[in-house]
Structure 1
Amino acid sequence: MLPAAPAAPASTGTPSHSLLQQMRGELMRQPPFSLMGIADVDTFVTAATQAYFAPGEEVLGPQQGQVQQLYYLRQGHVSGRHGLAETAGGFQFDVGDMFPVGALLGGRAVTATYTASEDVFCLLVPLATVQALAARSPPFADHLNRRVAQLLELSRRALQSAYASQSLAEQSMETSLGALARKQPLGVPPLTLLSEALALMHERRVGSVLAVDEAQRPLGILTRHDLLSRVVLPRLSLSATIAEVMTAPVHCLDVAATAQDAMLLMSRYGLRHVPVVEQGRLVNVVSERDLFAMQRLSVKQVSGAIRSAADLPALRAMALDIRRLARSLLGQGVAARQLSELISHLNDLVARRALDLVAPRHGVDLGRACWLAFGSEGRSEQTIATDQDNGLIFDSDAPDRDRPQWLAFGREVNEVLDACGYPLCKGGIMAGNPACCLNVAEWCTRFNEWLEHGAPEDLLHASIFFDLRPLVGNTALAEPLQQLVLTHAPRLPRFMKQMADNALRQRAPLSWLGGVETTVDDGHEWLDLKLQGTALFVDVARLYALAHGVPQVGTRARLEAMGRALQVPAHEHEAWVAAFEFLQWLRLRLQMEAAGADPDQPNRLDLATLNDIDRRMLKESLRVARRLQQRLELDYQR
């Protein structure tokens, strides 16, 4: 006996007020309806008719011709198979999904066969209604065109709400500086006497005063923090001008820059105040307190403490603060790209300080060498649980003579970083390993060997080296390697084919019905978010970047450049980026929440811990990964 159909609009006429309310409430529990106006949701409901499909019954197929209606799945599951393109695998729609968006908006028939996996009830909405709603409801249009990005935003909002009690600030790091509350900045001519400038600071109760020219362009800055070292201790007369003691030139940011940009600028240059300009004219000053409102911990405090760490114990303590800071920023809703970029930046500072502490003990000159970052560190995509991937390139015409000194130096730095919470690389990709401590000619020979003669297994392990970033020392030493990869790799079809084969060894973990494939252990369903998630995007993006001579090594930048090179629609490569960043963000969250988890499996996710939005976004992200892999197959395995 078939289950009773859920209440639904009649096929003709207007639904009753009570039925309309019921359907509206049901839909508004799901995106995009939860973001739409009530009148627009009511339009969707009143235009819809309901259809039932028995288990195994075809819902849609290519032979039905051009799609005329949007299907909204109210109950059950619908699976699809891609007809002739069986290698594409299947997919599955869950309750709340709408399909087939691409075929409907493209005015064509579907290419897949859609089948009811169980008793299925769908709302069918005519194309004309869908087009009208998309024209007047931005959330509805965004959902149709950028479903992945919208689900990502909803997922981030849910996490921000969950972390609200732990967050030390509510300011999103994506906010533009122009959108921050403006206070009239204190600007004076550069010949203003110190006595007048300080009186104005006291009167206005501000921590800085800027010297500006007649067009209100910042020339320099004097902060309350500067007074002790520049005025009080030198016993400078207050009849001196501000131009004599100000910091010039001053680091400014445009109103289009973000709070994240200001945060990184403060960290890199040890600043407490950043002037904000619009078309060169001073319009605001933001302070560290304005941006973060953190009671105990700030980016500047952590980065400053790392830079000034006097010994290993101090450096180890500061490295531990990176996790605490990252957790706080995650609670503010900071995006995966920004958070991993910040973590990588602070990890870079730890590495730089370790190099500075160790170099004098070995009598080495960092001007004659360059510390190289590979893998996620090279891409500035490190998460909390990250091991070392580094190397050393040194300037020498007699490498066998000079290598022992550089190797000893590299080994001690590796040990210092290990003590700071960055485990030694199990694969031996470290500067203390002779294979990763080479002069320029030796590195170039090694890269050439991989590019021209490497076996598939060699390239599987060597691909991490192509995410190269010079970190400390004479960065010019790394330029021959970077140029070699950019110019030589695209001319080697055999190399590109092998890279594609390696990238396709691990497939997107989706079943033939489109469900997430997991490993069942102890009654739990597990998924490795790195191996079965972010790595899928990293490998594809790396290959296309090498193929098109893209110099960037970050996965986001590579995906965006790949979209432009392949001339795909903007919403498609935006979906690539959104899917990758969701998986990266999920890894960050998992690592910061899993205090007692297995340290050998920091990316192991229990699917039962996901909420409904994150579960849907995970499946959608893996679908995007599968489509990317299908594109790779068509381009390199035909």
Structure 2
Amino acid sequence: MAAASSSLPDALRAEAQAELQRFPPFSQMATEPLQRLLDGALQQHYAAGQTVLEPDDGPVRHLWYVRHGAISGQQGLASMATAGFQYEAGDLFPVGAVTGERAVTATYLATQDTTCLLIPAALVRELAHASAPFADFLNRRMLQFVELSRRAVQVAYSLQTLAEQSQETRLGTLSRERPVSCPPGTPLAEALATMHALHIGSMLVTDSQGCVAGILTRHDVLGRVTLAGRSLDTPIAQVMTTPVQILSTEHTAQDAAVLMSRHGIRHVPVTESGRLVGLVSERDLFAMQRLSLKQVGTAIRSARDLATLQVVAQDIRRFAGNLLGQGLGARQITELISHLNDVLTARVVELVADQHGADLRRACWMALGSEGRCEQTIATDQDNGLVFVADEPAVQRAAWLAFAKTVNEALAGCGFPLCKGGVMAMNPAWCLTAREWCERFDNWIERGAPEDLLNASIFFDFRPLAGVFELVKPMRDFVGRRARAVPRFLRQMAEVALQHRPPLNWLGGIETTNENGREVVDLKLQGVSVFVEAARIYALAHGIEHTSTRLRLQGFAAAAGVAAAESEAWIEGFEFLQFLRLRAQLGAEGWQTRPNAVDVRTLNDIDRRILKETFRMARRLQQRLELDYLR
């Protein structure tokens, strides 16, 4: 039985304070509110198997902090899952019930001899007003854990990189001065004189409403004016570049860096409500990030042969390490990795097309799988396909297959291994016309055999990479329309998705596999895939055309009226798993053979707690999927 609750003896206060300061949010709290907590907290001991808290106790009167031992939650909402949830040393519970002033929905049991501090609910509210870190933790527990983990990595890599803030700066803040512009009818002589007098490298052209109509740069002057022999009386509208790549004030510095690298440009106009308000140049972006992204992207685009690309491809891994050290989140890093891989793949396709005499105006190279979702990590093999235009597909397919085989082999030389499952464009099954692709998709949806469902999970994340992007649009439209017309197919997809459960044992702890003395979980199979598969099903069901998991989950949440806190937790959990995968692949030896495995014992306290919380998020998402499709 439990001993009676008691205040902390003075002799134990110093020990308890040092213990609290090891864990968030106490590690961020000032001394005064922490002392108030110790003054008002009660200490209580529980024997193994004893009930700590249950629904019949009514509105929760305390917040429990586990000092030693473990508490497991079962029954109630938890009974819908295959496992409960476990709180260990450093954990607080039940946060939601205390802040909501309600009873718990599960029964909490001590799974071993356990010591807890009980913080009265009234004191919890006082501390929330007195301590911002404490309040933030209660309101945004998952996000706070993720941020603390990200900061820890940033400190470890701080000598390599910039601060995270640089990449998240809004362009509305970065571009403060209104750029110089002129109307379309301005003579070249006047525009060039202004550029020379103000020492600027470009002139924006705007219409009467202030919208960007075009741009003229110093580089354009040589090719379009001087060498072309244009009269200086020529209106600037006749030589300007149009249309112009534009971003809004809500976009970030990272968005600008990606856009510049993708299109090989040096200036990006910034608009607000469609009107020109600023101009961002390479000089405006922080030097290290600019040089890294620009150098790698430029080196890839300027490569004249496949041998050069094989050398340049190695820089992508080094660049990813720099990004990790900046404290960037998984979304930004995987997006940038995928972007550079896109640039590399497109360049390979271009070079091979020249070798084979292949007309890319009659074909489109497609990315599938993680690259199709823009979620590639460092360790990734090839998943791709080809759609081509042909009057006689059976006759012309051989030439496209030869072209695709050379591309696949060249990508393998650049560090992207051939897909063991043969999901590559050089496979005749995945080198088809748009009509043939749609017929294949229709067969998968109509039959729903295990192999069909597996193919759908790979191919329905397709995205155009090189060639004629418009060839892919009718295929995307067909998949969305057909999948929604066959509810049985979505149910079958859900059944497959639910076969992979998050690795939580019946007590709610992380369940690992012993591999040569390492306690391992597979972050991709047991974690990332749960979010990816659920997001894909909901995207198909709700007509969401995005391929990225993040955007699919956001689109589903908006369409289904899911609370923002819940959908944000899904996304944060998914991106934390991606973050752990990246960190393991960039920092551990042997990542090539087990790129998604992590030894849980090597994680620090914060990361272990986030990982457990993430698996709980994954389990709750699966519960929703089960209720929506299998009830």
- TM-score past 0.5 threshold: yes
Name the residue aligned to 1:611.
604
Paired residues of 2:3 and 2:46 also in contact (CA < 8 A): no
Once residues 521 and 264 of structure 2 are traced to their aligned partners in structure 1, the CA distance between those partners, rounded to angstroms, is: 41
Question: Structure 2 vs 1, CA of residues 138 and 482 (structure 1 numbering), >3 Å: closer, same or farther?
Answer: farther
1:24 deviation in Å? 5.1
- Alignment partner for residue 585 of structure 1, among 579, 583, 596? 579
Distance 1:377 1:360 in 2: 24
Decide which moves more: 29-38 or 393-402: 29-38
> For residues 329 and 447 of structure 2, what CA distance do their matches in structure 1 show?
40
Partner of 1:30: 23
> Could you give the per-residue CA deviations for residues 298-318 of structure 1, whole angstroms, max 9, x where no partner exists?
212221221221110122222
Q: Which runs of 5+ in 2 are unaligned?
A: none
In structure 2, C-alpha distance between the alignment counterparts of 1:169 and 1:157, rounded to whole Å: 10
Matched, 1:359 2:358: no
Aligned to 2:147: 153
Preserved contact between residue 254 and residue 278 of structure 1 (Cα < 8 Å): yes
Partner of 2:613: 620
1:490 aligns with 2:491: no
Output the amino acid matched with 1:200: L
Q: Which of the numbers 620, 624, 627 marks the counterpart of 1:631?
A: 624
Q: Distance in 2 between matches of 1:483 and 1:423?
A: 31
Instruction: Work out the CA distance in 2 between the residues paired with 1:592 and 1:348.
Output: 20
- Summarize deviations over 1:9-39 as a string: whole Å, max 9, x none: 47xxxxx7x9877655543432223344555
Contact 2:316 2:340 in 1 (8 A): yes
Pair 1:97-2:95 in alignment: no
CA RMSD of aligned residues (A): 3.4
Q: Which residue matches 1:369?
A: 363
- 1:510 pairs with one of 504, 508, 511: 504
Q: Which moved more, 1:582-591 or 1:220-229?
A: 220-229
Structure 1 residues 271, 35: closer, same or farther in 2, change over 3 A?
A: farther
Choose which of 433, 437, 441 in structure 2 pairs with 1:443.
Answer: 437
**What SS does the corresponding residue of 1:499 show, helix, strand or coil?**
helix
Q: Partners in 2 of 1:279 and 1:59 — Cα distance?
A: 56
* Structure 1 residue 391 displacement after superposition: 0.8
What SS does the corresponding residue of 2:403 show, helix, strand or coil? Answer: helix
Cα deviations across residues 478-507 of structure 1 (Å, max 9, x unaligned)? 233212221221332332222112112221
Q: Provide the rounded CA distance (Å) in 1 between the counterparts of 2:90 and 2:572.
A: 20
1:430 corresponds to 2:424 = yes
Query: 1:173 is paired with a residue of what secondary structure?
Result: helix
**Amino acid paired to 1:258:** T
Q: Residues 396 and 200 of structure 1: is their aligned pair in 2 closer, same or farther, counting only changes over 3 Å?
A: closer
Instruction: Determine which of 109, 114, 128 is the counterpart of 2:122.
Output: 128
1:568, 1:213 → 2: CA distance? 42
Within the candidate set 66, 77, 84, 1:73 is matched to 66
Change (3 A) 1:3 1:463: same
Structure 1 residues 603-612 or 247-256, which shifts more? 247-256
Instruction: Choose from 38, 41, 44 the match for 1:51.
Output: 44
Change beyond 3 A, Cα 1:184–1:452: closer
User: Match of 1:561?
Assistant: 555
Alpha-carbon distance in structure 2 between the residues aligned to 1:316 and 1:267: 19
CA distance in 2: counterparts of 1:219 and 1:138, whole angstroms: 48
Structure 2: which amino acid aligns with 1:419? Answer: G
Deviation at 1:256, TM superposition (A): 2.1
Distance 1:245 1:62 in 2: 74
- C-alpha displacement at 1:87, in angstroms? 4.0
The code of the aligned residue for 1:31 comes to: P
CA-CA distance at 1:418 after TM superposition: 0.9
Which residue identity lines up with residue 110 of structure 1 in the other structure?
V
Please list the CA deviations of residues 207-252 of structure 1 after superposition, one character each: whole Å capped at 9, or x if unmatched: 6676779998777666676677678888999999998987666544
- Seen in structure 2, the aligned counterparts of structure 1 residues 273 and 476 have a Cα distance that, compared at 3 Å, is closer
Spell out, residue by residue over 1:321-380, the C-alpha distance to the aligned partner (whole angstroms, 9 max, x if none): 111211111111122111111111111111111111112333332222222221111111
- State whether structure 2 residue 590 is matched by structure 1 residue 597: yes
Alpha-carbon contact 1:171-1:292 (below 8 Å) kept: no
In the TM superposition, 1:285-324 aligns within 5 A as 285-294=279-288, 297-324=291-318
SS at match of 2:251: coil
Shift of 1:68: 2.3
What is residue 399 of structure 1 aligned with on the other side?
Answer: 393
Q: Is the 8 A contact 1:143 1:150 kept in 2?
A: yes
Equivalent residue number for residue 13 of structure 1? none
Q: Structure 1 residues 95, 567: closer, same or farther in 2, change over 3 A?
A: same
How has the CA–CA distance of structure 1 residues 68 and 212 changed in structure 2, closer, same or farther, with 3 Å as cutoff?
same
- Which range moved further: 309-318 or 183-192? 183-192
Q: What is the match of residue 466 of structure 1? A: 460
Moved more, 22-31 or 535-544: 22-31
Contact 2:446 2:489 in 1 (8 A): yes
Q: Is the 8 A contact 2:390 2:433 kept in 1?
A: yes
Report how far residue 272 of structure 1 moved: 2.5
2:546 aligned partner: 552
AA in 2 matched with 1:144:
L
| Pair 1:208–1:163, CA change in 2 (3 A) | farther
Q: Which shows bigger deviation, 612-621 or 165-174?
A: 165-174
Q: CA contact under 8 A between 1:72 and 1:124: conserved in structure 2?
A: yes
Corresponding residue for residue 198 of structure 1: 196
Moved more, 22-31 or 112-121: 22-31
TM-fit CA distance, 1:563: 1.9
Specify the code of the residue in structure 2 equivalent to 1:329: L
Q: How far does residue 575 in structure 1 lie from its aligned partner after superposition?
A: 0.2
Q: Residue 579 of structure 1: CA displacement?
A: 0.2
1:602 deviation in Å?
1.2
**CA displacement at 1:530 relative to structure 2:** 1.0
1:405 partner amino acid: A
Q: Secondary structure at the match of 1:531?
A: helix
**Does the 8 Å CA contact 2:63/2:124 hold for their aligned counterparts?**
yes
Q: Is the 8 A contact 1:172 1:334 kept in 2?
A: no
SS at match of 1:393: strand
Say which is worse superposed, 287-296 or 540-549, in terms of deviation.
Answer: 287-296
Residue of structure 1 in register with 2:265 after alignment: 271
Q: Aligned in 2, Cα 1:195/1:524: closer, same or farther, shift over 3 Å? A: same
Instruction: Tell me if the contact between 1:188 and 1:197 (Cα under 8 Å) persists in the aligned partners.
Output: no
Identify which of 475, 479, 491 aligns with 1:481: 475
Residues paired across the two proteins, number: 625
Structure 1 residue 585, shift from structure 2 partner: 1.1
Using the size of structure 2 for normalisation, the TM-score is 0.89
Contact map agreement 2:257 2:290 (CA 8 A) in 1: no
Cα 1:103–1:183, aligned 2, differ >3 Å: closer, same or farther? Answer: closer
**Pair 144,246 (structure 1): closer, same or farther in 2 beyond 3 Å:** same
When residues 168 and 631 of structure 1 are mapped into structure 2, their CA distance, relative to the original with a 3 A threshold, is closer
Deviations 1:546-571 (A, max 9, x none): 22222111100111122223322110
Amino acid at match of 1:56: G
Equivalent residue of 1:85, what SS?
A: helix
Deviates further, 550-559 or 28-37: 28-37
Alpha-carbon distance between aligned partners in 2 of 1:232 and 1:168, rounded to the nearest angstrom: 41
**2:527 alignment partner AA:** G
Give the match for residue 403 of structure 2.
409
CA contact (8 A) 2:195 2:202 kept: no
Distance 1:465 1:289 in 2: 40
Q: Which moved more, 1:29-38 or 1:610-619?
A: 29-38
User: Which residue identity is paired with 1:158?
Assistant: A
Change over 3 Å in CA distance of 1:525–1:335 after alignment to 2: same
2:170 aligned with 1:176 = yes
Alpha-carbon displacement from aligned partner over 1:430-471 (angstroms, at most 9, x marks no partner): 110011011223212211111111212431343111112122
Equivalent-residue separation in structure 1 for 2:210 and 2:22 (angstroms): 51
Kept in 1: contact 2:584–2:591 (CA 8 A): no
> Contact (CA 8 Å) 1:169, 1:293: kept in 2 or not?
no
